[in-house]
Amino acid sequence: MPQPASEHQLSIQGMTCAACVSRLERVLAAVPGVTSVTVNLATEEAHLITLPSVQVDSLLEAVAASGFSGSEKTSDTPIPDTPDRGWIPILIAALLALPLNLPMLAMLAGWQVALPGWLQFLLATPVQFWLGARFYRAGWHALRAGSGNMDLLVALGTSAAWGLSVWQLVLHSSTLYFEASATVITLVLFGKWLEARARRATASAIRALAALRPETVRVRRSSEEINLPIQQLMLGDVMLIRAGERIAADAVVLSGNSSTDESMLTGESMPVDKQPGSPITAGTLNQFGTLEARVTATGNQTVLARIIEQVEHAQTVKPPVQKLADRISAIFVPVVLLIAALTLTGWLLAGAGIQHALLNAVAVLVIACPCALGLATPTAIMAGTGVAARHGILIGDASVLETAHRTRCVAFDKTGTLTTGQSRLIQIESLGTIPETILLQIAFSLQQHSNHPLSVAVQAAAREQAIAALIADNQKIVPGQGVTARINHAIYWMGNQRMLNTLGMTPPALSTDDTTSWLVSEHNGTRSLLATFTFADTLRPEAKQAITRLHQMGIHTQILTGDHATIANRIAAEVGIDAVSANLDPGEKLQAISQLQQQYGTVAMVGDGINDAPALTAADVGLAMASGSDVAMHSAGITLMRPNLLLVPAALDISQRTWNTLRRNLFWAFVYNLVGLPLAAAGMLNPTLAGAAMAFSSVSVVTSALMLKRWKPNLLPETSA
């Protein structure tokens, strides 16, 4: 029997580039019992799937052996947002490097300024060996692990420039390169600081969600109110939630009336009314009244915890395109070292002096730092999934981003997806002379105390017309058939065809497949069929606009439903859906998805029920309505936290934008190196300019990713003038 898998999340400190990622993944994958490893540079995390026998300590030992430090990350581990102090070393480095660059700056202004060699040595040496010590440490760890990384390139390049300058100083030469080594280290430190700031910014969505969890909760135990740390909350506890307090756990309201702000979870700004029996969600804000609620889920089982886990998972797992970049980065550093050696040898053979040859080799080492390659994909994924989560779109699998932009067909379930799943009364057909208003009043009087979905629809229709109920005596519910009662000296029945069969009555043929109820009266022993009541599922008001937007994106739309073809075709005509497949069971929906994939290529499926789970899994992109079943949500790569179909084109839009950003970042990351390496080897870039270009490449890809944070979905139907 195969053993069940275990998952581990580790926080990693000390990674600097994509080569570090590749080295750590290789070492962790070699630990016995580890079946899958994903290391993310931007989040500084490792996600592992292992056999249950694997201990966290053995994983952390492997991390340490790789030259990094790590710790286990759990659901209770706080997401750090520490004050940024990284600018202090940069400021000191800049103050020391600036005087070294004054002669060059003065030369541009036509002045001749020269600093004494001993002063240059005193200014550059602290930058090289004190502020730049991190590069030596990390480079040494990489060498010990039999690998290379960005820090090794920086350490070798700047050490060569510094060492050459010291040698020249000993020979009393005026040609020194202390400014190159000090400036490169300063620029690299500045670039790393900007990267760290960007990583904190891209993690802001998760931090904002985690901050919704209160630290303490007020509960009633043994008739006593006490405050507890949230970790001590148990299932079945009764929470007391005052106005303005965050809700600590998922629960059901026992008493009280209020409204909650669920915007951080769903993106919906309107408050949601709560009364006894209403579910409430951890992290949401109780706005007005005091609520008593019984806890139904705590810790990792709450909706909020699952959302955080889903977003973190999406930001940790790599799409295939990033794995390709990582494989390239793994061989990149050795190749760069070889190119630097060839550059040095080539210039020496060409008759250039040792100084010129060494400086060109240093430039090669500096410009080739693969920071941008390591950051190009994860920063785009973090920014895209983070901003999507803030607007109620949970992208649970990063590989979806690589697929969703190719979507050419979206298939919709009908009930609970295109419709609300709530019935409404659409027609009353009198079979005699009684007016529809009177018929509705009789039906309302029969159904006024029932919570059956069709009864609720009758009640809603009566309230819309301000119809008052009549007094109904001897009211009785007939299970599976309907309801009966005496009203004004007559007996009335309202129910389905089984009820008519029980009463010995034969209904006329129906012209619709919609749900129908019959109203029957009995007066002085005579039974009469008074009317038919036709019910239909309520179409979501934004459905037509959502379909229109998908068509504008060039996407084919189709209904896959187990309902009657007549009903499905009517819905399709109302909202403008291109095609209909009806009377399908879950297996047939699966076959329909396969056929659509053969016809259109990439297919997305939108559903909400357990019966949709196979189709959601089989589709290239599964989008589940959060108002549906947990099974549907676990089967889909994307969960829509609001019951708004306009989130479907919005989800495809943010996926497209994220993918475009990801491709653009990778393109520029490769271009920087492909263009910069030959220029440096050819002697057209000095080490200072190479360092500036390297730092700019990292900052540019991160800045490009952060532009995604400005994205907002258009969830308002377009109005015609």
Half-sphere exposure at residue 596, Cβ-oriented, CA atoms within 13 angstroms: 31
Among 94-103, 207-216, 535-544, 644-653, the range of highest mean pLDDT? 644-653
Residue 299's pLDDT is what?
A: 79
Q: Across residues 469-476, what is the average pLDDT?
A: 87
Closest residue by Cα to residue 677 from 696, 700, 694: 694
What average pLDDT does the chain have?
A: 79
**Residue 425 and residue 427: Cα distance in Å, rounded?**
6
504 in any annotated domain: yes
**409-412 and 556-560 strand pairing:** parallel
399 in any annotated domain: yes
Q: Across residues 569-598, what is the average pLDDT?
A: 86
Residue 604's pLDDT is what?
A: 92
Q: Across residues 551-568, what is the average pLDDT?
A: 87
Phi, psi of 69 (to 5 degrees): -115, 150
Which residues fall within 8 angstroms of residue 400, CB to CB, at 6 or more apart?
Answer: 621, 637, 638, 655
Half-sphere exposure at residue 219, Cβ-oriented, CA atoms within 13 angstroms: 20
Contact yes or no for 388/654 (Cβ under 8 A) = yes
Burial status of residue 559 (CB atoms within 10 A of its CB: 0-12, 13-18, 19 or more): buried
**Residue 150 and residue 17: Cα distance in Å, rounded?**
6
Judge if 415 and 555 occupy the same domain.
yes
Residue whose pair of structure tokens reads 């962790």 in the numeric block: 28
pLDDT exceeds 60 at position 378: yes
- Report pLDDT digits (tens) over 23-72: 788 888 888 988 888 887 766 788 888 888 888 888 888 888 877 888 88
- Report pLDDT digits (tens) over 237-248: 999 998 888 898
* E strand or H helix at 126: helix 117-126
Q: What is the DSSP string of 595-621?
A: HHHHHHSSEEEEE-SGGGHHHHHHSSE
Q: Residue 688 has which token pair?
A: 């200072």
Q: Residue 507 has which token pair?
A: 């209904």
**Residue 442 and residue 499: Cα distance in Å, rounded?**
17
Judge if 549 and 415 occupy the same domain.
yes
Judge if 501 and 584 occupy the same domain.
no
Which residue did the predictor score with more confidence, 478 or 535?
535
Query: Residue 177 in 3-state DSSP?
Result: coil
- Report pLDDT digits (tens) over 390-419: 888 888 766 777 788 889 999 998 877 888
Number of domains forming the structure of the chain: 4
Q: Across residues 665-669, what is the average pLDDT?
A: 78
Residue 629's pLDDT is what?
A: 47
Closest residue by Cα to residue 216 from 243, 200, 240, 192: 240
Judge if 568 and 626 occupy the same domain.
yes
Contact yes or no for 423/457 (Cβ under 8 A) = yes
Residue 707's pLDDT is what?
A: 85
pLDDT exceeds 90 at position 554: yes
Domain stops at, among 627, 657, 687: 657
Tell me, what CATH number does 408's domain have?
Answer: 3.40.50.1000
pLDDT exceeds 60 at position 631: no
| Angle value at C-alpha 304, between 538 and 203, nearest 5 degrees | 115
Which residue did the predictor score with more confidence, 100 or 372?
100
Half-sphere exposure at residue 261, Cβ-oriented, CA atoms within 13 angstroms: 12
**515-523 and 526-539 strand pairing:** antiparallel
Judge if 432 and 502 occupy the same domain.
yes
Contact yes or no for 444/459 (Cβ under 8 A) = yes
Q: Residue 353 has which token pair?
A: 């002096």
Q: Across residues 692-712, what is the average pLDDT?
A: 76
348 in any annotated domain: no
Size of the chain, expressed as the number of residues it contains: 721
Contact yes or no for 259/273 (Cβ under 8 A) = yes
DSSP state of 246: B
pLDDT exceeds 80 at position 488: yes
Judge if 569 and 630 occupy the same domain.
yes
What share of the chain in percent tops pLDDT 70?
Answer: 80
**Residue 617 and residue 587: Cα distance in Å, rounded?**
12
Q: Across residues 296-311, what is the average pLDDT?
A: 75
Judge if 493 and 571 occupy the same domain.
no
CA dihedral 500, 501, 506, 511 (to 10 degrees): 70
Confidence of residue 501 (pLDDT cuts 50, 70, 90): confident
**Residue 593 and residue 604: Cα distance in Å, rounded?**
9
**Residue 493 and residue 502: Cα distance in Å, rounded?**
11
For residue 345, the tally of other CB atoms under 10 A from its CB is 12
508 in any annotated domain: yes
Q: According to the 3-state scheme, what is the secondary structure of 139-155?
A: HHHHHHCCCCCHHHHHH
Judge if 467 and 455 occupy the same domain.
yes
478 in any annotated domain: yes
- Report pLDDT digits (tens) over 332-354: 777 878 888 898 899 888 888 77
Q: Residue 389 has which token pair?
A: 């989560």
- Report pLDDT digits (tens) over 150-177: 677 778 777 877 887 888 788 777 767 7
Residue 633's pLDDT is what?
A: 53
Contact yes or no for 145/66 (Cβ under 8 A) = yes
**621-625 sheet: strands from edge to edge:** 393-395, 638-640, 621-625, 603-607, 409-412, 556-560, 579-581
Judge if 443 and 405 occupy the same domain.
no
Tell me, what CATH number does 282's domain have?
Answer: 2.70.150.10
Domain stops at, among 297, 315, 341: 297
Tell me, what CATH number does 48's domain have?
Answer: 3.30.70.100
Least confident of 192-206, 234-248, 270-284, 381-395: 192-206
Judge if 604 and 459 occupy the same domain.
no
Residue whose pair of structure tokens reads 């005087």 in the numeric block: 99
Domain stops at, among 474, 508, 538: 538
Which residue did the predictor score with more confidence, 9 or 530?
530
Residue 718's pLDDT is what?
A: 59
**Residue 652 and residue 18: Cα distance in Å, rounded?**
29
For residue 229, the tally of other CB atoms under 10 A from its CB is 11
Least confident of 315-319, 372-376, 510-514, 613-617: 315-319
Which residue did the predictor score with more confidence, 121 or 694?
121
Judge if 497 and 408 occupy the same domain.
no
Contact yes or no for 534/516 (Cβ under 8 A) = yes
Residue 720's pLDDT is what?
A: 42
Residue 388's pLDDT is what?
A: 86
Q: Across residues 647-654, what is the average pLDDT?
A: 92
pLDDT exceeds 50 at position 677: yes
178 in any annotated domain: no
Judge if 441 and 515 occupy the same domain.
yes
Tell me, what CATH number does 520's domain have?
Answer: 3.40.1110.10
Domain hosting 455: range is: 421-538
203 in any annotated domain: no
303 in any annotated domain: no
Which residue did the predictor score with more confidence, 274 or 114?
274
Longest dimension (CA), the chain: 127
The catalytic residue positions are: 413
Residue 64's pLDDT is what?
A: 86
Contact yes or no for 430/675 (Cβ under 8 A) = no
Q: Across residues 3-16, what is the average pLDDT?
A: 78
pLDDT exceeds 90 at position 578: yes
pLDDT exceeds 60 at position 719: no
